[in-house]
Each structure stands twice: as C-alpha cells, then as structure tokens.
Amino acid sequence: GLQTRIENLSGINSALDVLELHIGSDISGSFNGTWNTGDIGYVNDMSNIQVLDVANTISVGNVGNNFCDHFNSMTDVIFPATDFGYNAFLSGDNLSSVNLPLAESFTDWAFSQCPNLTSVDIPSVTTFGTNSFYDCDSLTSLNLPAVTNFGSTTFRNSDMSGCDLELGATIPTVTSWGSSFAPGTLIVPDASTVSAYDANHQTWTPTGSDTDGLWEGWTLQAPGIVVNPQTGDSGWIRSFHNWIGF
C-alpha cells in the first residue's frame, strides 16, 4: 500500500513526515491503479503536507469527509478524486492553488475559510454543497465549466470583486450567495446562451426569479463583449469592446 511504500523511504517514519507527495504517471508500476480506503486514510494523516500532486492515471474515487481538513501548511493540490464529502479543504490557511481534474461533486464547506486561495480549476464538477467558498477573499480565478448547481451561501463573506468565474454554456442554479458577498466577473463561452443577456442592446439584466436572477451585480464577459452592471436609477449600462477574445 501507499503507507508501506512511502515509509520504506529514508527519513520517513509516519505520514506527518511527508511535506510533499508527487506521484506521476511516468513512475513505472509504483502507484498506478486504484487506491483503497487505507491509502486515502494515509493521506488524511499527512497534516503537515505542503504539496499534494497525484497524476490522474490513478483511480481514487470518493475520498469521503474531511479529506484535507485544517491542513494549514498545504499550498498546492493536484488530485484525481471524483467525489469529496464535507470539509474537503476546510481552513487551509495557506492553500493557494487547486487543480482537481476529475472531481464531479462536493458536499458542504468544500473550500471554506481558505483566505489565500487564488486559483481553482475543477473542469468536471457539476455540484457544490453549501458554503463552498465561505470566507475566501483572495480568489482571482475559478474555472468551473461543467457546474450546474451551487448550494446555498456559496460565497458567503467572500469578496469576489477581483475574481473571474469561468462557466460553460449553462448558467448554474443558485440558491443564495450569502451575506457580505461582493460579485465579480462571470465569463461564458457564448453570451447568447444567457437568458438575461439582450444581444440587440448588449444589456445584461439578471433580475427576478429566472435562472439568472441571483447573478445581479456580476459583470458578464464573453468573446467580443463585456457588459458591466451599474446600480441606481440608471439601471444597467453596457460596455461593448470591438475585439475578439477576453
């Protein structure tokens, strides 16, 4: 198993001694295959780890709850699990970059209270539970092109004003963003798929109870357009740029 292989290395006596774990697809016969619950449990014990980097040639599946909960030294994660229970990366004080290429779902408090988290790349995730990014004030890039549903209070207490949230063709369902939340920039591949976007006037009016209702306040960006919201009696104004790309 994973524990036996690692602790056969010089200077490694327990999971607490592991500061970086790199498992690449080019390691012949070492860790390719399927991890069992014991392997996942051993990673759960690596609470001093700084970098977790595991190739997606390894099948991990569902890691359960509290996967890297309160891993305060962790800065970077690349990991091929498909499903995460609650508190997956809760209170990662120094976590800054996350790349989870195969992840499909998270339950509650996935990345809550990660104050230094800036970049999140999860191209296959479809659903998040509640408080997914609670208290995350440093986010600059969220790549979530497959997401269809955000749980309630997704970005509660988070300043998203400097963040680009990249989505796919479908605008996700939102229950609520939560209190003390500042919206950012919503990036989509094709503005014509957004029901609240008026192509004739280049206006973006997500109000009421439609699919886009809770996206009010976000700037909409797509190839060739940037539509900025403006509050007050003047409602919404547009800013159209004659260039292609973002």
CA separation, residue 25 to residues 57, 59, 88, 109 (Å): 6, 12, 24, 30
Q: Pairing state of beta strands 219-222 and 225-227?
A: antiparallel
Tell me the C-alpha distance between 125 and 231, whole Å. Answer: 32
Average pLDDT over residues 187-196: 80
Q: Give how far the C-alpha of residue 182 lies from the chain's centroid of Cα atoms, to the nearest Å.
A: 17
Residue pLDDT, tens place only, 127-183: 999 999 999 999 999 999 999 988 889 899 999 999 999 999 888 878 788 778 888
Residue of 52, 45, 42, 57 whose CA lies nearest to 3: 42
Amino acid 147: pLDDT? 94
Strand partners of residue 51: 20, 76
Average pLDDT over residues 217-240: 60
**Torsional sign, CA 198, 204, 209, 213:** positive
Q: Hey, how many other C-beta atoms are within 10 angstroms of the C-beta on 10?
A: 4
How large a percentage of the chain has pLDDT more than 90?
56
pTM: 0.86
With residues binned 3-state (H G I as helix, E B as strand, rest as coil), the percentages for the chain, rounded to 5, are: 10, 20, 70
3-state DSSP call for residue 7? Answer: helix
Task: Report residue 216's pLDDT band, with 50, 70 and 90 as the boundaries.
Answer: confident
Residue pLDDT, tens place only, 17-55: 999 999 875 544 455 678 899 999 999 999 999 999 999
CA separation, residue 227 to residues 129, 170, 183, 231, 234 (Å): 29, 18, 14, 13, 15
Asked if residue 152 lies in contact with residue 130, where contact means CB atoms within 8 angstroms, the answer is: yes
Average pLDDT of the chain to the nearest whole number: 84
CA separation, residue 186 to residues 189, 212, 215, 234 (Å): 10, 11, 9, 21
